[in-house]
């Protein structure tokens, strides 16, 4: 049973300078844009079941997931705004989607239209269970937003069909998804529909995975699927999940699986499975994660590679993978109550996820590099300039459903506690001790250290303040006087009878910190990264001239905070530092003895998530430095 | 008409310490190994035309090329050795190959056996003309080695068929190869068979390429080929070749095309086409080539990318591409008489080609990285340890035909000149003025600066000594006294009446040189490479401890020459230098403020081509340095 629970979406209303504007542009630009792209590309039309071979816009096996993710986001945006227009759109799209359900419960137009005879025959590649999972998540979001059961019931009929089809019985398929996601979705559906069978099915998918004889290999003998023993690792199906200790294979698949494992472990009190999740998380955090929270170093296969393989200029670090890591970290935080998991969560939220989205809300990175130079070509154009859409458009649709949840990550409740995870300004309502209590969080976090929390309500409960590990000291005062609390699991926990108007003054010391990487990360030899609080900073050529790789940070960098350059949101804090600009000369030759000179400069670093919002640029996170 | 001509293979007998042992292991290990692999995998058996669907070893569309390249190497090895055993093997294999020719001249078992109805329908992907080209090269080599016409006649029958099938006529296909190679092969065949029609066909393939309407796109409308407008550039078919000024797409394809263009331009006196070759060469040399002569930065598509995109740890730099660049450079040198092209040729020969082959002659790199660390994973295992063979085994079979030609690159003749391109020790016979003259080249080049050339014969001719651009000064004495020559096209040319026993003493100054790269190469910021003469040096962990990225060269590196470490060929010259070893500590964390300290060390660098001959290792060419 979870230590903490997520709050309902509308219970956290952010008013900060980083997340709140992103939520707003998500509603105003990202979501409408994605609906429009789904319309233009035929993704919506396919639910009318009128597509026929030879017509344009041939439905692709993953298209249902795109629509489901957009629908999930739309339901959440509606829940946050109660906008009648969004509500109308929501019901219209839900009706369209549900109308495509087959009598037996199957709901996935590409198969209904193109190859109904091939259902479940290519779990390895064909995304059927993945799409089903996203439909379930969308249905749950719709139910939570509206209380209406039409979509939820359709999702349950589909889940019932899958539950009949898959399982340990002799007549059932002993398979599991080639792209995980349905595991965590079934857990959500079980809660929303009050049907524990769905969670049991999720547990079946998890524990069957990777067992011998391998289902994907058997499946591939009966039907051409492109599965091979070498590729099982990409699907986390190379061995039973409980024997897996390293994060491997396709990063998004892996993180959705681990999230489902965490949810199943928590619900069942399965300590062994939760321990697996812990180990996998630790492997990611300590060996396979970029400083930004990006994961998955390899473009080929979009996958985890090996310990300390973290190239900057060929990083893949897919936007969806950072979002998935945030989901996994949030679950581990809630299930264990251990603030350590919030460290990775916060890193993802402020850096590697939001970097995938333009400030305008309508352009996207698929991969998130940590270094882009004029000559960085191998990772492709779509990692140098954000694009309006992709053929495989998982990232844009992921943002539709991710942005509305930003508030939910900041504040949790449970075990008689109200827990401040990320002190972004906003208004929160929760019921740590039965009765609703409101909290006003104010301040300019993550740009300024002072945060105030004002209690609007009363009752005896614990107020838990996460102590970020990047923070040398969190100063805590209650109503102007020092206060002490229990230090537990990375929180300062203050138990008391709270009264209306009680005011906590928090000071999160946030000096500029120069970070190094573990010496096994060859890509970062002789380099350091500028950070402040949870923010990772980057040098852009627009602020610092071309070729940021020619800038070398001084031993005494004399860091100063500065106003952000024009074109970034007012209030954004930049960091300036003392450096020198090297001039290498090879007289035009590609290679020559050459000469090197340098001149002193000050450089300006901006938050990594905001790079490439002022036109194409070169960019660098890990900067050369004098030691 | 070429300025210089290649000499017949047996006319250059190398006795040096670098090339000669490679030629020997090529004959003793590389070639027999490749024949054995071709036998085991069914590549030879397919020529018996007894394979049927369902049997193992399904012939692949490029298999004919593997056998042809091995045969070409076998013919050359026979020509060099006149070994009866090699001669027997050669005739047996030639008979086998020729026996698979269809009555109309078609010779390519995968199509004969599997899909005879699909001939020429997928030029974009199916390698038919590529395989035909390699068969022609093999047939020419067999004819030159033995004087026998059976294979040559078969190749001509095949070429005649292709000549009927392709061309500008209304009934002919206006196509060209998806993998170039046949262009240069047709030029060779034209010379060997004395039939200029084949050269005309080569010119047709060259000039038709990339014209509108694009053949590959038309072809793809009639037959599924996977061609798309985006992929035309990978095949150098995005625009007419005479309008191409940048080296693009698949590197081996590109370099074979350019080689064919150079040969056609030379034979036809087509100055415009030769100028295209010059520009393409210049683009490669000055913007798209690794210091080692490796080319093709991107593993995906095995292709050229963009100017200055030269990542070290994800270099592709396929062995075949470095070999192909050597072929192209050799042609440009011969056709123009300009020693500058020998600069790239020599770089390829001593570095980026031979690095692909183990000293034992039986293990191969497909890609040749310039940096390998414990955490470099993204380029895959086969770039970290040489492998005995690959499914797509172009590189091993390329070495079979490349090694026997090493001598041919070192010495040229023509225009009344004997030209010493690379002064590797050996015995040369050529006829610069009609009558044969022999030359003994002695010395320990490229390890020691002194070279002596003794003339064994007499006559009035020009002896031309290439002046390497890496060399600050070449000292030249004749019979113990200073001698002056004409300085022309990068050569010192000495015209005189030569007599038996005349002795040239050459001194190629070869200080250790620290090279920088052009500042646009972001990967090499703050780094320098150690070179001496034509050799690029590398740091291996076996000599310098783990994590070579933690070594920093001193501002005063105090370079010293040293004996090579055990396990490398005796006589190999290593370079030692003053450096410091940095210790970064993050207390086990992936990222932390950490601390950095360092201690002085001396490092030992070995020739790049010899790395990974003493077990798996980390390796680095571009070393961090204090400026």
pLDDT at B600: 97
Separation of alpha carbons A404 and A421, rounded Å: 17
Separation of alpha carbons B242 and B275, rounded Å: 9
Q: Is pLDDT of B54 > 60? A: yes
- In this complex, do A286 and B594 lie within 8 Å of one another by their Cβ atoms? no
CA of A485, closest CA in chain B: separation in Å? 28
* Cβ under 8 Å to B: A residues 109-148: none
B427, burial (CB in 10 Å: exposed 0-12, middle 13-18, buried 19+): middle
Of A299, A518, A582, nearest to B590 by CB-CB distance is A518
Q: Which of these, A295, A308, A299, lies nearest to A348 by C-alpha position?
A: A295
Alpha helices by DSSP H, listed for A360-425, are 394-402
CA of A282, closest CA in chain B: separation in Å? 11
Q: Which residue of A has its CA nearest to B522?
A: A549
Q: Measured between beta carbons, which residues in chain A are less than 8 angstroms from residue B598?
A: 627
What number is the ipTM of this complex? 0.93
Q: Is pLDDT of B380 > 90? A: no
Whether residue A381 lies within 8 A of chain B, CB to CB, comes out as no
Whether residue A283 lies within 8 A of chain B, CB to CB, comes out as no
Q: Measured between beta carbons, which residues in chain A are less than 8 angstroms from residue B285?
A: 590
- Report chain B's mean pLDDT, rounded to a whole number: 96
Q: Measured between beta carbons, which residues in chain A are less than 8 angstroms from residue B547?
A: 519-520, 522, 525
- Report chain A's mean pLDDT, rounded to a whole number: 96
**pLDDT mean over B301-321:** 91
DSSP 8-state code for residue B298: B
pLDDT at B226: 86
**pLDDT mean over A553-581:** 97
pLDDT at B626: 83
> Of all residues in chain A, what percent carry a pLDDT higher than 90?
92
Residue A577 contacts residue A553 (beta carbons within 8 Å): yes
**pLDDT mean over A272-277:** 98
DSSP 8-state code for residue A3: S
* Cβ under 8 Å to B: A residues 353-372: 371
What lies within 8 Å, CB to CB, of B104 at 6+ separation is B161
pLDDT at A381: 55
pLDDT band per the 50, 70, 90 thresholds, residue A302? confident
**pLDDT mean over A344-360:** 98
Separation of alpha carbons A388 and A366, rounded Å: 11
Q: Measured between beta carbons, which residues in chain A are less than 8 angstroms from residue B596?
A: 516, 627
Instruction: Match 């669907």 to its residue by tokens.
Output: B53
Tokens of B290: 């690794």
Span A596-616, pLDDT tens digits: 899 999 999 999 999 999 998
CA of A316, closest CA in chain B: separation in Å? 10
Separation of alpha carbons A317 and A295, rounded Å: 5
Annotate B512-535 with DSSP letters as a single string: EEEEEE-TT-GGGTTEEEEEETTE
pLDDT at B381: 55
Tokens of B236: 């150098």
**Widest pairwise Cα distance in chain A:** 75
Whether residue B627 lies within 8 A of chain A, CB to CB, comes out as yes
Separation of alpha carbons B318 and B338, rounded Å: 26
CA of B539, closest CA in chain A: separation in Å? 14
Residue B71 contacts residue B152 (beta carbons within 8 Å): no
**pLDDT mean over B45-49:** 98
Residue B552 contacts residue B536 (beta carbons within 8 Å): no
* Cβ under 8 Å to B: A residues 293-322: 297-300, 305-311, 313-314
Tokens of B28: 């003793």
* Cβ under 8 Å to B: A residues 464-523: 513-523
pLDDT at A378: 47
Q: Which of these, A567, A526, A548, lies nearest to A605 by C-alpha position?
A: A548
CA of A461, closest CA in chain B: separation in Å? 35
Of B517, B522, B596, nearest to A586 by CB-CB distance is B517
Span A446-502, pLDDT tens digits: 999 999 999 999 999 999 999 999 999 999 999 999 999 999 999 999 999 999 999
Q: Around A487, how many Cα atoms within 13 Å sit in the side-chain half-sphere?
A: 5
DSSP 8-state code for residue B237: -
Element (H, E) at B476: strand B474-478
Least confident of A595-599, B85-89, B486-490: A595-599
Q: Partners of A584 in the beta sheet? A: A596
CA of B324, closest CA in chain A: separation in Å? 20
Q: Is pLDDT of A208 > 80? A: yes
Alpha helices by DSSP H, listed for B13-127, are 19-25, 31-40, 63-81, 84-99, 109-113
- In this complex, do A584 and B517 lie within 8 Å of one another by their Cβ atoms? yes
Q: Which of these, B359, B281, B339, lies nearest to B606 by C-alpha position?
A: B359
Separation of alpha carbons A250 and A180, rounded Å: 10
Of B298, B313, B515, nearest to A592 by CB-CB distance is B515
pLDDT at B288: 97
How far is residue B250 CA from its own chain's centroid?
Answer: 15
Q: Which of these, B547, B617, B542, B556, lies nearest to B582 by C-alpha position?
A: B547
- In this complex, do A526 and B624 lie within 8 Å of one another by their Cβ atoms? yes
Residue A432 contacts residue A451 (beta carbons within 8 Å): no
pLDDT at B378: 47
Q: Is pLDDT of B234 > 60? A: yes
Chain A contact probe: residue of B591, B593, B618 with most A CBs at under 10 A: B591
CA of A374, closest CA in chain B: separation in Å? 7
SS3 call for B585: strand
pLDDT band per the 50, 70, 90 thresholds, residue A380? low
Q: Measured between beta carbons, which residues in chain A are less than 8 angstroms from residue B307?
A: 375
Q: Is pLDDT of A250 > 70? A: yes
> Of all residues in chain A, what percent carry a pLDDT higher than 70?
99
Q: Is pLDDT of B418 > 60? A: yes
* Cβ under 8 Å to A: B residues 144-183: none
Tokens of A165: 């089809």
Q: Is pLDDT of A287 > 80? A: yes
**pLDDT mean over B231-254:** 97
Of A309, A314, A582, nearest to B375 by CB-CB distance is A309
Of B298, B375, B624, nearest to A521 by CB-CB distance is B375
pLDDT at A122: 97
Chain B contact probe: residue of A299, A584, A594 with most B CBs at under 10 A: A584
pLDDT band per the 50, 70, 90 thresholds, residue A379? very low
CA of B585, closest CA in chain A: separation in Å? 7
**pLDDT mean over B256-261:** 98
What share of residues in chain B are helix, strand, coil (percent, to 5)? 40, 25, 35
- In this complex, do A589 and B518 lie within 8 Å of one another by their Cβ atoms? yes
How far is residue A184 CA from its own chain's centroid?
Answer: 15
pLDDT band per the 50, 70, 90 thresholds, residue A433? confident
Tokens of B100: 């698979």
Of B291, B300, B592, nearest to A515 by CB-CB distance is B592
Alpha helices by DSSP H, listed for A337-440, are 340-347, 394-402
**pLDDT mean over A536-555:** 96
**pLDDT mean over A65-70:** 98
**pLDDT mean over B374-403:** 82
CA of A534, closest CA in chain B: separation in Å? 13
Q: Which residue of B has its CA nearest to A552?
A: B526
């Amino acid at each position: 049973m979870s230590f903490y629970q997520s709050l309902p979406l509308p219970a956290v209303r952010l008013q900060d300078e980083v997340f709140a504007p992103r939520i707003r542009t998500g509603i105003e630009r990202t979501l409408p844009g994605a609906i429009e792209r789904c319309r233009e590309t035929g993704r919506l039309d396919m639910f009318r079941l009128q597509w026929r071979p030879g017509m344009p816009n041939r439905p692709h096996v993953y298209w249902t997931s795109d629509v489901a993710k957009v629908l999930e986001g739309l339901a959440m945006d509606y829940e946050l705004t109660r906008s009648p227009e969004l509500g109308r759109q929501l019901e219209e799209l839900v009706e369209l989607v549900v109308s495509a359900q087959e009598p037996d419960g199957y709901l996935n137009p590409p198969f209904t239209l193109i190859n109904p005879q091939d259902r479940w025959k290519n779990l390895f590649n064909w995304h059927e269970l993945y799409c089903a999972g996203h439909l379930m998540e969308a249905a749950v979001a719709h139910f939570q937003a509206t209380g209406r059961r039409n979509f939820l019931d359709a999702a349950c009929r589909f889940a019932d069909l899958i539950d009949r089809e898959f399982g340990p019985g002799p007549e059932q398929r002993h398979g599991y998804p080639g792209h995980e996601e349905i595991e965590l979705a079934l857990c959500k559906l079980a809660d929303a529909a009050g049907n524990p069978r769905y969670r049991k099915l999720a547990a079946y998918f998890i524990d069957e995975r990777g067992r011998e004889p391998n289902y994907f290999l058997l499946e591939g003998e009966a039907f051409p699927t492109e599965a091979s023993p070498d590729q099982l690792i990409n699907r986390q199906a190379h061995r039973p999940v409980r024997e897996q200790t390293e994060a491997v294979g396709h990063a998004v698949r892996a993180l959705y699986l681990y999230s489902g494992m965490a949810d199943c472990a928590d619900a069942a009190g399965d300590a062994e499975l939760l321990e697996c999740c812990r180990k996998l998380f630790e492997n990611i955090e300590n060996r396979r994660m970029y400083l930004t929270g990006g994961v998955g170093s390899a473009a080929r296969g979009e996958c985890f590679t090996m310990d300390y393989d973290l190239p900057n200029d060929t990083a893949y670090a897919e936007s969806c993978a950072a979002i998935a890591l945030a989901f996994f970290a949030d679950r581990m935080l809630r299930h264990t109550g251990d603030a350590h998991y919030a460290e990775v969560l916060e890193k993802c939220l402020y850096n590697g996820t939001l970097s995938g989205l333009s400030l305008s809300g309508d352009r996207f990175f698929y991969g998130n590099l940590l270094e882009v130079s004029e000559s960085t070509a191998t990772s492709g154009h779509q990692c140098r300039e954000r694009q309006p859409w992709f053929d495989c458009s998982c990232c844009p649709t992921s943002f539709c459903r991710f942005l509305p949840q930003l508030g939910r990550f900041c504040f949790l409740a449970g075990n008689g506690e109200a827990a401040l995870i990320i002190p972004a300004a906003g208004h929160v309502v929760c019921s740590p001790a039965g009765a609703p209590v409101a909290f006003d969080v104010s301040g300019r976090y993550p740009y300024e250290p002072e945060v105030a929390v004002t209690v609007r309500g009363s009752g005896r409960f614990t107020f838990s303040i996460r102590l970020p590990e990047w923070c040398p000291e969190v100063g805590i005062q209650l109503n102007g006087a020092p206060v002490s609390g229990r230090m537990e699991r990375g929180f300062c926990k203050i138990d008391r009878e709270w009264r209306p108007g009680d005011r906590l003054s928090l000071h999160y010391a946030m000096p500029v910190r120069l970070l190094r990487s573990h010496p096994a990360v060859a890509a970062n030899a002789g380099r350091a990264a500028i950070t402040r609080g949870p923010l990772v900073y980057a040098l852009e050529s627009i602020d610092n001239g071309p070729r940021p790789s020619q800038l070398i940070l001084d031993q005494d960098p004399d860091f100063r905070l500065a106003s952000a350059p024009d074109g970034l949101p007012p209030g954004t804090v930049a960091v300036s530092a003392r450096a020198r600009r090297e001039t290498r000369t090879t007289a035009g030759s590609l290679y020559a003895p050459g000469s090197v000179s340098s001149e002193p400069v000050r450089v300006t670093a901006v938050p990594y998530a905001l790079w490439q919002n002022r036109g194409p640029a070169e960019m660098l996170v890990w900067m050369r430095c004098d030691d």
